[in-house]
Amino acid sequence: MKMALGLALGFAIGFLCNYFQIPCPAPPALFGAGLVVSITLGYELTDRMLNSKKEAV
């Protein structure tokens, strides 16, 4: 349950960082490395989603 919440939080942070165009935080722990991966994936997915909306308009 904690892992799923951590991944969801990471995706949310990545989405918000990309949406508001702020640098992503990077915690220096092993579990933090997993959060960084999920933040990065959230950031990239948001970027692709926002770019596809721009192309559609």
State both tokens at 24.
Answer: 């992503």
Q: How many domains does the chain have?
A: 1
Q: What is the reported pLDDT for 31?
A: 76
Amino acid at site 31: F
State residue 57's pLDDT score. 64
Give the pLDDT confidence score for residue 28 in this predicted structure: 58
Look up the pTM and report it: 0.48
Residue 52 domain boundaries: 2-56
Token readout for 9 is 């939080």
pLDDT score of 25:
64
Token pair in block for residue 39: 């933040």
Yes or no: say if 41 and 14 are a contact pair by the CB < 8 Å rule: yes
pLDDT at 43: 86
Q: What angle do CA 49, 52, 53 make, to 5 degrees?
A: 90
Q: What is the pLDDT along the chain (57 residues), one digit of tens a residue?
A: 777 777 888 888 878 888 888 876 666 577 777 877 888 888 888 888 888 877 766
